Amino acid sequence: MRRVVGFAAVAVLAGSPALAGCSSDGSGGSAPGTPAPEGLRVEVVVAGLSHPWDVGFLPDGRMLVPQRPGRISLVSDGRATDVEADLGDVAARGEGGLMSLVVHPDFATSRRFTTCFNTASDVRLVTWELAGTKATRVKDPLVAGLPTNPSGRHSGCRMALDREGHLLVGTGDTARGNVAQDKSSLGGKVLRVDLNTGEGVAGNPFGDRIYTYGHRNIQGVAIRPDGVVFTAEHGPDVDDEVNVLEPGANYGWDPSQGGAVGGYDEDVPMTDLERFPDAVPAVWSSGDSTEAICDAAFLVGEQWGALNGVLAVTALKGSKVLLFTVGQDGKVGSVAIPPELDDAHGRLRGAELGPDGALYVTTSNGTDDKILKVTAPTA
Interval 83-126: pLDDT, tens: 999 999 999 999 999 999 999 999 999 999 999 999 999 999 99
In contact, 119 and 89? CB cutoff 8 Å: yes
* CA-angle at 149, arms to 28 and 239, nearest 5°: 15
Q: How far apart are CA 174 and CA 180, in angstroms?
A: 9
| CA atoms within a 13 Å half-sphere pointing along the CA-CB vector of 265 | 16
User: pLDDT means per 10 residues in the chain (379 residues)?
Assistant: 30 31 36 61 98 98 98 98 98 98 98 98 98 98 98 98 98 98 98 98 97 98 98 98 98 96 95 97 96 98 95 98 96 96 98 98 98 88
Please give the pLDDT value at position 377: 83
If one counts every other C-beta atom within 10 angstroms of the C-beta of residue 333, the result is 21
Q: Can you give the three-state secondary structure of 201-267, one letter per residue?
A: CCCCCCCCCEEEECCCEEEEEEECCCCCEEEEECCCCCCCEEEECCCCCECCCCCCCCCCCCCCCCC
Please give the pLDDT value at position 36: 74
Residues in contact with 203: Cβ distance below 8 Å, sequence separation at least 6, in sequence order: none
Q: How far apart are CA 21 and CA 34, in angstroms?
A: 6
* CA-angle at 136, arms to 133 and 142, nearest 5°: 130
Please give the pLDDT value at position 32: 28
Q: What is the pTM of this model?
A: 0.92
Omega into 247 within 30° of 0, i.e. cis?
no
Please give the pLDDT value at position 5: 31
The helix (run of H) or strand (run of E) holding residue 110 is helix 107-110
Please give the pLDDT value at position 8: 28
In contact, 42 and 363? CB cutoff 8 Å: no
